[in-house]
Structure formats: C-alpha cells, structure tokens
Amino acid sequence: MFFWIIKRDLLLAIRRQSDVLTTLFFFVIVVSLFPLSVGPEMNLLRTMAPGVVWVAALLASMLSLGRMFANDYSDGTLEQMLVSPQSLSLLVLGKATAHWLVTGVPLVLMGPVLGIQYDLPTDALFVLTVALLLGTPVLSLIGAIGAALTLGLRGGGVLVSLLVLPLYIPVLIFGSGAVEANMSGIAFDAHLSLIGAFLLASIVFAPWAAAASLRVSLE
C-alpha cells in the first residue's frame, strides 16, 4: 500500500509537471540571486554558501507543503484513506516519501551544481550533497505535520510556515554547520550524525503525529 501511494503521487506529479518545476526553479533562482547581488567576492561567497543553499532549500520545500494533502482533501481521497483498513501513519509516510522524491531529490541533485557558483571546493560540495540528502526528508516529514494541521483552513499557507519553520531550524543549523566545519578543516561527521538522528526520529514520530492531525482536520 505504501508503494501504491508513492506510485500514485509520482504519476500525478508526472502528469502535472508544473508543480515540480515551480519548486525547483524557485530554489535555483533564489540561490543564484545571491552571487549576482553580492558581487564576485570569492571569500564572502564561500562563507555564505551553505547558509544560502539551506535557507533556499527550506523555503522551496515549504512552498509545496500546502499541496501535500489539499488535493486529496478536496476530491475526497483523504476520506477514503481514513476509512482504509491500512494504517493511516503508513499512508502518511508514503505521501511524505513521495513529496520528498518530487521536491527534495531535485534539490539534492541541484545543490552541488549551484554550489559551484559560490566557488565551494569539491569536498565541501560533497558534504553539502550528503547533508541535503539526509536533511531534505526531514523537511518533508515535519512539513507533513504542518500540512495536516492546517488542512482546510483559510490562510493555511502562512500558518504552515509559522508552525513548521521553527521545527526546521535544527536541520538548518546542522546542515549548514556540516559544510562550514568541512571548509574550516574540522570534523563534520558529528553534524551529519545529528541530521541522521533527526531523520530517524522524524520517520518514527512525524507520520504518527500527521495521521492524528488529519483525523482532527477531517472531523
């Protein structure tokens, strides 16, 4: 069932590509604006690169959160998920995975390419990619809770950012911290381990919390 949900959401994303491309282009444009506006000062660019990439990834991932459950809610699929004999948490995990595959993976792939604009050394690019790979699923999973809580509310878009952004902060700090540590020549594996721990914790708790929120939102 988990795979059916992923397959369905990927199929929908392929049929409606504009949603995927919006997120990716937003990320690319925001990251590219900084070198253009700051000017070609290599040292400055190198220092700000990890932060800029991570903030852009956060905002890009949040851009598509509203759509995570909204379409299923309006066409009644969500009701069917709630009356399904399958565990709702598992279905939510499937939806969050699909959201990551559609919005997170393109960011992971584009991250190192955009890092070149900031003159990041090769091994820093590698750390950036690994950090994004571990961190972006956390964004989708935590985002699922926010999306489920604000389902069907007016102005849900603003509310979801207020709810979710504070929870994104640890990922942001350790994600950019890993790259900065690598560039200043200190060990970065502690940062990555912490992001990995966030990932594991959110895989366990986020689907459960989002499923409970969905039940409340649909009542």
Binding site for other proteins (CB under 8 A): 1, 4, 8, 11-12, 15-16, 71, 74-77, 79-86, 91, 218-219
Residue placing its CB nearer to other proteins in the complex, 81 or 102: 81
What DSSP letter does each residue of 104-129 carry, written as one string? IHHHHHHHHHHHGGGT--HHHHHHHH
Residue placing its CB nearer to other proteins in the complex, 71 or 129: 71
What DSSP letter does each residue of 11-44 carry, written as one string? HHHHHTHHHHHHHHHHHHHHHHHHHHHH-S-HHH
State CA 177 to chain mean position distance: 18
Provide, rounded to whole angstroms, the least separation between the CB of residue 79 and other proteins: 6
Residue placing its CB nearer to other proteins in the complex, 126 or 208: 208
* CA atoms of 176 and 28, how far apart (whole Å): 17
Provide, rounded to whole angstroms, the least separation between the CB of residue 80 and other proteins: 5
Residue placing its CB nearer to other proteins in the complex, 52 or 98: 98
Provide, rounded to whole angstroms, the least separation between the CB of residue 92 and other proteins: 13
